[in-house]
Structure formats: structure tokens, C-alpha cells
Amino acid sequence: MADKLDVLVLAAHRDDIEITCGGTAVKLVDLGYQVGIVDFTQGEMGTKGTEIDRAKEAEAAAKVMGLAVRENLKMPDSGLEFTRDNKLKVAEVIRKYKPHLLIIPYWEQRHPDHAMCPKISWDAAFFAGLKKMPLSGEPHRPYKIIYSTSFFDLRHSFIVDITNQFERKIKAVACYQSQFDETPESREIFPPARNIYQFMEVQAKALGYKIGKRYGEAFYTKEITEIEDPMKLTVKSI
């Protein structure tokens, strides 16, 4: 169990991170960073499987990804609310691990929990830095917050090459056997997709193509990125 993380990734449900930005999480581990995941809910309201199943599956996926930490805040599944208590729970985690980088979902989402997660997370990151906030630990705010946007049709801020990590991303998602078997219900989780693995591959290939790589994952930042040396910019213009 790490005392401090370089990167903290937040999501509403177990398996959300593996699907949306699992390749980037694995790449950050490969680069030598301490990476952790905190899931907000146990997934007890899911159509398939139980929270016990998903806990075991999340632990297996964490090993595949090489995570230093994986925690669950046990907030109510399909009941995430924009409350002060929920913000403080997440702020406690941010103070506990003091990440430099915080990765959270994009805010426009189909599932209400997915949409609520980034709202709670952003406020929590702010609260975590307030000295007088009634929280344990020293005040801390992440230096950078980025949004996972691989499955959204918008102009992404940047794309991460996950070519060398894509197989482990797939392997991590495959840990969730209760969710992604060959039943019709599992095939309809991501309409119009009929297979979660094909769906991820198509998306990752399309994003990788934009940067001249085989596979990619996309992200958005609210801030403009500074470039020190324009001569070192990658991806050809013409």
C-alpha cells in the first residue's frame, strides 16, 4: 500500500477506468509512477453480477495493471449525489495520497453516476486544499486534472499512445467476467456495440490513427497546455 501516489484515477464503478483509460493507467505504471484507483461505488445495482463478484474482479484487474492502490468508497450505486459529505469523502482520499495528477471522467455522460463523479471529484480536489476544511491530513490539491474522453465526439486536448499497453488493458477488462460474457445482456452494455473488446479496439485504433500510432486513449484539459520548445512537437501537420 503506497503512502503517496503520483497518479490517482477516480471513477463511479469498478471497470469504468479499465474501459475508458486503463491503457494510460498501465502506461503510467510502466513509466515508473505510483498509480492508484478509487472507485466510488461497489456496483451493487448492476444488472449482472454482485458487489462481491466485482470486488474480486477489481482486485484481479488491479494486479494486471500493476496498481499500487485500489480502494472503494462504498457510495450507493445509481445513487451518487452532489453532497458535501461525498465531496469530503473524496477530498480525504486526495489528501491521503497527495497525487500530482488526477484523472477523472468527462462530465457529459449517459449514466447519472458517471456524470456525477467528475463533479464531485472537482469540488473534492478544491476542498482538499483548504486548510480549515474539517479533514484529516495536510492540505493538498492535485497539480493537474485531466478528463478521460476516448468515447466522446469532441476535440480532445491530447492522445496518449497505448500501443504497448493495449493487450494489458484488454486483459484487465476481461477480469470482469460477471459483466462481459457472451450473453445478449452483456453485448448491449455499449450500444450499438455487440462486443466490448471490439468496441474498445475500434475506438483505440481510431484515436491512435490520429497520432500515427496503433492504439490511443484521449483526454481533455480545461487549461491551455504550455509548450517550451515547439521544435519538439510530435504529430506531423502536413
Instruction: Express each pLDDT in 154-164 by its tens digit.
Output: 999 999 999 99
pLDDT at 45 over 90: no
Q: Note the pLDDT of residue 184.
A: 65
Average the pLDDT over 18-32 and give the result: 97
Of the chain, the end-to-end C-alpha distance in Å amounts to 47
8, pLDDT greater than 80: yes
* CA–centroid distance for 169 within its chain: 12
pLDDT at 30: 98
pLDDT at 191 over 60: no
Query: Angle, to 10 degrees, between the axis of helix 166-174 and the axis of helix 196-210?
Result: 160
How many CB atoms within 10 Å of residue 119?
16
| Domains of the chain by start residue, with CATH | 7-222 (3.40.50.10320)
| pTM recorded for the entire structure | 0.93
The string of pLDDT tens digits covering residues 104-153 is 999 988 888 889 999 999 999 999 999 999 999 999 999 999 999 999 99
| Average of per-residue pLDDT values in the chain | 92
Distance from C-alpha of 133 to C-alpha of 137, rounded to nearest angstrom: 10
More confident residue, 27 or 194: 27
Whether 190 shows a pLDDT value over 70: the answer reads no
- pLDDT-derived band at 187 (thresholds 50, 70, 90) equals low
User: What is the grid cell recorded at 15?
Assistant: 471497470
Split at pLDDT 50, 70, 90, the class of 178 is confident
Strand partners, 46: none
Q: Kindly report, residue by residue over 76-94, the tens digit of the pLDDT.
A: 887 889 999 999 999 999 9
Q: Does 192 have pLDDT greater than 70?
A: no
Whole-number Å distance between alpha carbons of 170 and 217: 13
C-alpha cell at 66: 500493476
Residue 157 is placed in which grid cell? 486536448
- Which one-letter DSSP state was computed for residue 231? G
- Torsion, CA 136, CA 137, CA 139, CA 144, rounded to 10: -110
Helix (H, G, I), strand (E, B) or coil at 2: coil
What is the average pLDDT across 206-216?
A: 97
